[in-house]
Chains A and B, each alone.
Chain A
Amino acid sequence: MLYVATIFLPLIGAIAAGLFGRWVGDRGAQLIACGMMVLSGLFSIIIFRDVALDGNERVIELFTWIRSGGFEASWALKFDTLSAVMVFVVSVVSALIHIYSIGYMAKDPSIPRFFSYLSLFTFFMLMLVSADNLVQLFFGWEGVGLCSYLLIGFWYDRDSANAAAIKAFVLNRIGDFGFALGIFAVFYLFGSVSFETIFAAAPAQAETSFEFLGLEVHALTLICLLLFIGAMGKSAQIGLHVWLPDAMEGPTPVSALIHAATMVTAGVFMVVRMSPLFELAPSVLALVAVIGALTAFMAGTIALAQNDIKRVIAYSTCSQLGYMFFAIGVSAYGAAIFHLMTHAFFKSLLFLGSGSVIHAMSDEQDMRKMGGIWRKIPLTYAVMWVGSLALVGIPFFAGYYSKDIIIESAWGAHSLVGNFAYVIGVVVAFLTAFYSCRLLFMTFHGEPRADEKVMAHVHESPKVMTVPLVLLAVGAIFSGSLGYDLFVGDGGEGFWRASILVLPGHDALAEAHHAPWYIKLTPLVLAVLGMALAFLVYFMFPGLAGHAAERFPRVHAFLYNKWYFDEIYDRLLVRPALILGRGLWKSGDGELIDGIGPDGIAASVMRMGRRAAALQSGYVYHYAFAMIIGVVGFISWYLYGLMG
Chain B
Amino acid sequence: MVVHLPILSLVTFLPFIGALFIFMIKGDEETVARNSRQLALWASFVTFVLSLMLIVRFDPSIAGFQFVETEQWISGLGIQYRMGVDGISVWFVLLSTFLTPLCILASWDSIRNHVKEYMIAFLVLETMMVGMFCALDFVIFYLFFEGVLIPMFLIIGVWGGPRRIYAAFKFFLYTLAGSVLMLIAVLTLYVVVGTTDIPTLMQAEINPTLQYWLWLAFFASFAVKVPMWPVHTWLPDAHVEAPTAGSVILAGVLLKMGAYGFLRFSLPMLPEASMFFQPLIFSLSVVAIIYTSLVALAQEDMKKLIAYSSVAHMGFVTIGIFTVSAQGVEGALFQMLSHGIISSALFLCVGVVYDRIHSRDISRYGGLVHRMPAYALVFMVFTLGALGLPGTSGFIGEFLSLLAAYQVNRLLAVLASTGVVLGAVYMLWLYRRVVLGVLDKEELKTILDLNRREVAIFTPLVVLVLWMGIYPEFFLGLMHASADNLVENFEIARALQMAAAAP
Most buried by B among A143, A165, A615: A615
Q: Which residues of B contact A213 (CB under 8 A)?
A: 410-411, 414
Q: Which residues of B contact A212 (CB under 8 A)?
A: 410
Residues of chain B within 8 A of A634, CB atoms compared: 139, 183, 186-187, 190
Q: Are A143 and B390 in contact (CB under 8 A)?
A: yes
B-chain residues with CB within 8 Å of residue A170 when the two chains form the complex: 421, 424-425, 428
Q: How far is the CB of A75 from chain B (nearest CB, A)?
A: 8
Tell me how far the C-beta of A605 lies from the nearest C-beta in chain B, rounded to whole angstroms: 8
Q: Does A585 lie within 8 Å of B473, measured CB to CB?
A: no
- B208-225 at interface with A (beta carbon < 8 Å): none
Q: How far is the CB of B267 from chain A (nearest CB, A)?
A: 16
CB pair B402–A630 under 8 Å, yes or no, is: no
User: Are the C-beta atoms of A64 and B77 separated by less than 8 Å?
Assistant: no
A69 to chain B, nearest CB (A): 3
| B187 and A589 form a contact (CB under 8 A) | no
Asked if B432 and A180 sit within 8 Å, CB to CB, the answer is no
Kindly state the separation between the CA atoms of A64 and B474 in the bound complex, as whole angstroms: 10
**Which of the residues B186, B295, B480 comes within 8 Å of A584, measured between beta carbons?**
B295
Within the complex, the shortest CB–CB distance from B324 to chain A, in Å, comes to 11
A146 and chain B: residue at smallest CB distance? B389
Cα–Cα, bound, A157→B368 (Å): 11
If A68-B476, A213-B411 touch, whether A619 touches B153 (CB-CB below 8 Å) is yes
Known contacts A166-B432, A620-B153: does B484 contact A69 (CB below 8 Å)? yes
| Complex: A70 Cα to B487 Cα, angstroms | 13
Beta-carbon contact of B153 and A623 below 8 Å: yes
Q: Which of chain A's residues have a CB closer than 8 A to the CB of B77?
A: 635, 638
- CA–CA, A620 to B170, complex, Å? 13
From A577, A593, A630, name the one whose CB has the most chain B CB atoms within 10 angstroms.
A630
Chain A residues positioned under 8 Å from B63 (CB to CB)? none
CB of B437 within 8 Å of the partner chain: yes
Bitwise, B142-168 to A at CB < 8 A (1) or not (0) is 110010011001100110000001001
CB <8 Å contact, A68 and B400: yes
Are A577 and B233 within 8 A (Cβ)?
no
Least Cβ distance of B487 to chain A in Å?
8
Residues in chain A near residue B191, CB distance under 8 A? 637-638, 641
When distances are taken between beta carbons in the complex, the residues of chain A under 8 Å from B297 are 577-578, 581
Task: Check if B402 sits within 8 Å of A184, measured CB to CB.
Answer: yes
Using CB atoms, name the residue of chain A closest to B415: A213
* Interface status of B234 (Cβ within 8 A of chain A): yes
In this assembly, does A159 line the interface, its C-beta being within 8 Å of a C-beta of chain B? yes
Binds B, one of A242-250, A414-422, A424-432, A595-603: A595-603
In Å, the complex CA distance between A66 and B190 comes to: 40
Q: Which residues of A contact B176 (CB under 8 A)?
A: 622-623, 626
Q: Which of A143, A162, A585, A623 contacts B172 (CB 8 A)?
A: A623
Shortest distance from the beta carbon of B159 to any chain A beta carbon, whole Å: 11
What string of 1s and 0s marks CB contacts (under 8 Å) between A131-151 and chain B?
A: 000010011001100100100
Q: How far is the CA of A637 from the CA of B391 in the complex (A)?
A: 52
Check B6 for interface membership: any CB of A closer than 8 A.
no
- Assembly CA distance A598 to B484 (angstroms): 39
Q: In the complex, which residues of chain B have a beta carbon less than 8 angstroms from the beta carbon of A188?
A: 406-407
B384 proximal to A (CB < 8 A): yes
Does A207 reach chain B (CB closer than 8 Å)? no
CA distance A452 to B500 in the complex (A): 93
- List residues of chain A with CB within 8 A of the CB of B32: none
Closest Cβ of chain B to A221, distance in Å, is 15
B351 to chain A minimum Cβ distance, whole angstroms, is 23
**5 pairs of A and B residues whose beta carbons are closest in the complex:** A69-B326, A184-B406, A581-B298, A581-B294, A139-B390
Residues of A within 8 A of B (CB): 63-71, 135, 138-139, 142-143, 146, 149, 153, 156-157, 159, 162, 165-166, 169-170, 173-174, 176-177, 180-181, 183-185, 187-188, 211-214, 577-578, 580-582, 584-585, 588-589, 593-594, 597-599, 601-602, 605, 615-617, 619-620, 622-624, 626-627, 630, 633-635, 637-638, 641
| Complex A-B: 24 CB contacts under 8 Å | A65-B472, A68-B476, A68-B480, A69-B325, A69-B330, A69-B487, A142-B389, A142-B390, A157-B367, A170-B428, A177-B420, A177-B421, A180-B420, A183-B403, A184-B402, A184-B407, A580-B294, A584-B295, A589-B236, A594-B233, A598-B233, A626-B180, A634-B186, A637-B191
Assuming A65-B472, A598-B233, what are 19 further A-B pairs, CB within 8 angstroms?
A65-B471, A68-B327, A71-B400, A165-B432, A170-B425, A177-B420, A180-B420, A188-B406, A581-B297, A594-B233, A598-B169, A598-B170, A602-B170, A615-B165, A616-B168, A619-B169, A620-B153, A637-B187, A638-B77
